[in-house]
Amino acid sequence: MRYLSCALATYLLCAGSALATPLGSDFTYQGQLTDNGSPASGNYDLQFALFIAASGGNPVDTVTLTNQTINSGSINASLDFTDAPYNGQALWVEVSVRHAASGSYVALSPRQAITATPYALYALSGNPGPTGPPGPQGSAGSIGATGAQGLAGPAGVQGAAGFVTLPYSGSASSAGTPALQVQNTTNTGVAGLSGSGTGVYGTTEGTSGQNGAAGVWGDSHDYYGVWGTSVANAGTVGNSTNAAGVAGASVNNDGVVGNGTNGVHGISVSGWGVWGHSTNGDGVHGETANPNGNASGVAGFGDGGNYGVYGASTSGAGVSGNTQSGNGVVGTSATGNGVAGTSTDADHYGVTGFGGRAGVIGSIISGQAGVLGQALVQPGGHGVGVMGITQSSLSSDAGVYGSNNGNGSNAPGVLGQSFSSAPGVYGTSSTGTGVYATSSGAGLAGPALNVLASATNGIGIVANANTGDTTALFANGNALGQIFKGLGPGGQTVFRVTSTGVVYADGGYASAGADVAEFVPSTQSLEPGDVVEIDAERGGEFRLASSPSSTSVAGVISTQPGLTMNSSESAKDQENRAPRLALIGRVPVKASSENGAIHAGDLLVSSSTPGRAMRAPNNPQAGTVIGKAMRALEHDSGEIEMLVMLR
């Protein structure tokens, strides 16, 4: 094979401006290649070697281009000799060629001299020209930020002492600080003396107890905020139209202390007669040393529709009574409530009582309730009429205890009423009994718990189980008793459950399920509707039937049985997992048209598809039929209803 190259090298170098894309160092090589005397066409490998002599020597750099397509002998290649010594000396290019990936390269002769054009690359690194004249000045920038404020000047000279001309009247608005403040480190801060009027008179337009508003405000860290004493009348009298008559606040002592016939006597038209506020102590604290039992530390009397003692709290107890031997709280009222407590906090109580015997005792004199609990809440809210808590371990003690000692009286010991969705009486316990009822009476005349539903659609007892392992209603009977007994309209027993678990029902059972089934053990995971057979390898257990007309077939796994047998408390964990084999009735069954379409009334046997039934052949073998089809299956597979009928 002979190659002949008649080459023409063309070098195109363009000088651009300073902002143009930088020019590379490659140049274009063009030539004509002949193969055996004819212009070459096809794919060739080309090798270009750069020499510093027309013949001999070693190449300075080599560029190889493989699998190049050449048409009609035309070569057009881009060459970039990275090690080319473009320093003014003469250079030659030697071309070698071969068919693509075939044989050795053949060098073409002669070498081609590189003309002066590529040396124009050398001009790219020439010396820079002179610097041009400066351009015009740009526009002014934005104004900078304002500097820091300078130092304050020296303080002025103190003015002369002021004075007040009496009578004086004025006003000021000073948020957070007093408009007038007087301090005396050794005696009284402000003393008011009057021959016939008021020594010191204070008035406020604010609401008592809010933001410290009071007609007269006394504050003390170690002693009394306000001290009033009188021989024949009230030690301190507070009278206010909209705020507190007297407001006392103390950090470590009593807010208000009165000593006299009436220790503290407060009169108010629309607010509180006495208002006490304390950070760490009692807002109002009352004590009495009278041993006769007819005096109280704090006594409240309601002369109309008001409360004798009223306690309200947003986070604690409205009224709290604590005693070691007597009653924690005693309330007496002629026409209203003896004690009424209100708390707006969902975690606290209107009235809380703690005592050695009973925290709160309700005594009934006429036809009313000794203790009345009402849960009057807004829609969507919740509340408890009466809530009792005890920490006693004695069964005779209780959080709430009701007793009726009258002969022939129908009044309940404890009465709970609710006018919303909340319960009238609510019992809860984390370890014991929320509500406990006991009775020593016999028959219906002395039940431990009597529930009456008098509405048209009323319900006597509602039991709810809110978690997975919770029992809604639990009944425990001894060896001779009944766990549950139901009476009919005539008083006769129509339903009962004995302590041994035997159920008696005069009216029978009604269930949504259409079959009777029993729990069975299995060696495979079985689903409702599966056709199963006795596992010959593990006697007493069941598996999917997988052969046509199996004589070991046992039936179909039930979907929703109306009655399940072979169940006990020990099998409780099986309830949601163990399969139940249908014994009688109607059940869904997985079926196949393997032996032809199934029509209603056809006998069914097991098929070769595991767990599916098919139409029985003519004269089926004894022990292979599992039931009779109730519906048709024309083709493929599906689920139909079957009447259980083993034969």
Q: Is a pLDDT exceeding 80 seen at residue 163? A: no
**Could you tell me the residue ranges of all domains in the chain?**
3-123, 482-511, 515-644
DSSP 8-state code for residue 425: B
Rounded Cα distance, 524 and 123, in Å: 89
Rounded Cα distance, 127 and 538, in Å: 101
Domain 515-644 is in which class? mainly beta
**What pLDDT is attached to residue 114?**
84
Q: Is a pLDDT exceeding 90 seen at residue 609? A: yes
**What pLDDT is attached to residue 539?**
84
Instruction: Confirm if 235 and 228 have CB atoms less than 8 A apart.
Output: yes
Mean pLDDT of the chain: 75
Give the residue, 159 or 58, on which the prediction is more confident. Answer: 58
Residue 91 has which token pair?
């250079």
pLDDT band at 626 (very low <50, low <70, confident <90, very high): very high
**What pLDDT is attached to residue 13?**
38
In terms of phi and psi (left: phi > 0; alpha: psi -120 to 50; beta: otherwise), the region of 198 is: beta
**What pLDDT is attached to residue 9?**
44
Residue keyed to tokens 């084999």:
581
Q: What percent of the chain has pLDDT over 90?
A: 23
pLDDT digits (tens, 9 = 90+) for 313-363: 666 666 666 665 566 666 666 666 666 667 666 666 666 766 555 666 666
DSSP-H helix ranges across 228-300: none
Average pLDDT on 481-492 reads: 80
Give the residue, 532 or 422, on which the prediction is more confident. Answer: 532
The torsion angles phi and psi of 348, rounded to 5 degrees, stand at: -130, 175
**What pLDDT is attached to residue 144?**
85
Q: Which residues touch 511 (CB under 8 Å, ≥6 apart)?
A: 562, 563
Average pLDDT on 202-212 reads: 60
Can you spell out the DSSP letters for 338-362? SEEEEE-STTS-SEEEE-SS-SS--
Asked if CATH classification 2.60.40.2060 holds for the domain at 3-123, the reply, yes or no, is yes
Residues in the chain: 647
**What pLDDT is attached to residue 43?**
93
> Which of 197-206, 302-311, 531-540 has the highest mean predicted lDDT (pLDDT)?
531-540
Instruction: Confirm if 115 and 92 have CB atoms less than 8 A apart.
Output: no
The torsion angles phi and psi of 46, rounded to 5 degrees, stand at: -115, 140
Q: Is a pLDDT exceeding 70 seen at residue 311? A: no
The burial class, CB within 10 Å (0-12 / 13-18 / 19+), for 256 is buried
Rounded Cα distance, 373 and 332, in Å: 17
Instruction: Confirm if 595 and 624 have CB atoms less than 8 A apart.
Output: no
Instruction: Confirm if 348 and 315 have CB atoms less than 8 A apart.
Output: yes
The torsion angles phi and psi of 283, rounded to 5 degrees, stand at: -65, -50
Q: Is a pLDDT exceeding 70 seen at residue 182? A: no
The burial class, CB within 10 Å (0-12 / 13-18 / 19+), for 582 is buried
SS3 417: strand
pLDDT digits (tens, 9 = 90+) for 289-305: 666 665 666 666 656 55
